[in-house]
């Protein structure tokens, strides 16, 4: 859930906000003079956003993802048992 609060309130409750962001995946938009200025999110969420941005900025990767999605739609996929056999896996 996303909460909006002024920076003065955020200062008072910073340890609680950080704990909630980390443990409950709460999100906080911090305002200064009524305008959004910063966001507090968990470190895991931040890393996820960075990874997503990296993927979205790589045209070759986006093309590969689109091709994979097309393969799935058209049934051009392999059964897990086939993959294990091909790779000589005893899983």
Condensed to tens digits (0 to 9), the pLDDT of residues 28-71 reads: 999 999 999 999 999 999 999 999 999 999 999 999 999 999 99
How far apart are the C-alpha atoms of 29 and 49, rounded to whole Å?
A: 16
pTM strictly above 0.75: no
pLDDT at 91 over 80: no
Tokens of 36: 């959004």
Q: Taking phi first (over 0 means left), then psi (-120 to 50 degrees means alpha), and beta for anything else, what does residue 11 get?
A: alpha
Give the pLDDT score at 64: 96
List the domains of the chain with CATH numbers. 2-43 (3.40.1620.10), 58-86 (no CATH)
Q: What is the pLDDT of residue 90?
A: 80
d(CA 14, CA 28): 10
Mean pLDDT of the residues in the chain = 95
């Amino acid at each position: 859930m996303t909460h909006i609060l002024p920076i003065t309130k955020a200062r008072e409750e910073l340890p609680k906000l950080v704990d909630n962001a980390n443990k409950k995946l709460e999100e906080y938009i911090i305002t200064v003079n009524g305008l959004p200025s910063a966001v507090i999110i968990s470190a895991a969420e931040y890393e996820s956003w960075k990874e997503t941005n990296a993927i979205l900025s790589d045209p070759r990767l986006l093309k590969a993802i689109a091709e994979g999605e097309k393969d799935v739609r058209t049934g051009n996929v392999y059964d897990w048992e086939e993959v294990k056999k091909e790779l000589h896996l005893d899983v």
